Each structure stands twice: as structure tokens, then as C-alpha cells.
Amino acid sequence: MTKVKICGITHEVEIGIMNELVPDFVGFVFATKSRHFIAPEHAGLLRSKLRKGIKTVGVFANASLRNVAITMETAGLDMVQLHGDETAEYIAALREYIRCPIMKVVKVAKPIDADKAMYTTADYVMLDGGIAGSGKSFDWSLLGNVRRNFFLSGGLTPENIHDALQVNPKPFALNVSSGVESNKVKDYRKVMKFILAVREANQGRK
């Protein structure tokens, strides 16, 4: 069954929405260039108010190993997401610093890019299009040769969930951030529509 990750949490009101609607994952962004950037201490405070059972993800882009390790410890998160140019060597070194799952984002613009998802040494892979945080989808037909579980990201909204779930193979999870926002804050109705659409699709596949 496809899972849901809501990324870019920055406000306590958003934590309240997550606690009521219960996505599978929530993400805190520590990439300083992102408008969703959050300080580790603030992320830790918000995480402490989050309902148990929701997995927490720290998002980084080309951060130092030490920065990732300290941030993850400070915020007390469950998984690392690498959204930069991190190599297999970087991932191997990071495993010496942290003891949690690692997800690598692969940007897909052509068929060979999707093939890279098969070879990353990360525990999870997220397939996204183009510029990080652009909110734009990509050509999902490029994913036909992917033979491992993947998070699908980029341009997802409550309105295109049906199309996203027609991707073959089916995504392990859908990742959304700006697609469920109004005025740059998570919108209760949009988050609810997104999660309900995924859950209804899952029920139909049982």
C-alpha cells in the first residue's frame, strides 16, 4: 500500500494537522536555501509534539557529515534524506556517524537518471524532477525500469494523486510539500484531500 510523506514542516499548527490526519512520514528541511528551512532545535521541539508512530525525516543537501549527525541527534529524527550531490562514498561515511535509515533523492530528467535509482547504496530512494523544491512534476513514464521501492516526489497535489498512482511500478510512498499549502503553510483541507485520496486508492487495490 502506498504511504504518504508530508515534507517541509515548520509550524506548530502544522504538527496539529499531522497529528489529526496521521501521514506515515513527516519531513523537516535543514537545507538553508529552502524556504522550508528549520533550525534543529525548533524541529526537535515540534517533533516532541508529534503523534507517536509518525516517522520523522531530516532533509539535507550537501551538508557535512558532522552537521548531519549533530542535527539528527538534536532534533531526534528517524531517517536522513539526502537531496544534494551526495555520493556512495558519502553515504558509506555517513553510516559511521548515524544509525538510522538513509534515503537518497535521484533527480529524473531522462531514462538513464531513473536507472541510477537501482544502484544507490541508500536504504531508500526518492525520485524527483529537476530543481529541488520546484514543485514541478516530471515524466513519470521514465520510471518503468525501476525495480525497487521508491518515494515519488515533485509537483504532487490532491488533484493529480490518481495519475501518480497509475505509475508502474507503483510508488512505495508519495512525497508532497508545497502541493498541500496555502500561503506557504500546510492547509488542513489540502492535506486531508491528499491523504484520503491515497488511502481510498489503497483500499481499491486490496
The domain of 142 spans 3-204
We report the CATH number of the domain holding residue 179 as 3.20.20.70
C-alpha span between 85 and 154 (Å, rounded): 18
Exactly one of 78, 100, 123, 128 is catalytic; which is it? Answer: 128
To the query of whether residue 123 is one of the catalytic residues in this protein, the response is no
Exactly one of 7, 100, 123, 163 is catalytic; which is it? Answer: 7
pTM (two decimals): 0.93
**pLDDT for the residue 116:** 81
Residue with cell 497529528: 19
pLDDT (tens digit per residue) in 38-74: 999 999 999 999 999 999 999 999 999 999 999 999 9
To the query of whether residue 7 is one of the catalytic residues in this protein, the response is yes
pLDDT bin (cut points 50, 70, 90) of residue 130 is low
Query: Total domain count for the chain?
Result: 1
Who contacts 170 (Cβ-Cβ below 8 Å, separation ≥6)? 2
* Backbone φ and ψ of 181, nearest 5°: -115, 155
Say how many C-beta atoms besides its own lie within 10 A of residue 197's C-beta.
20
Cβ proximity of 141 and 176 under 8 Å: no
pLDDT (tens digit per residue) in 7-47: 999 999 999 999 999 999 999 999 999 999 999 999 999 99
pLDDT (tens digit per residue) in 160-200: 888 888 887 789 999 999 999 999 999 999 999 999 999 99
Pick from 181, 205, 206, 183: nearest CA to 193: 181
Averaged pLDDT for residues 117-122: 90
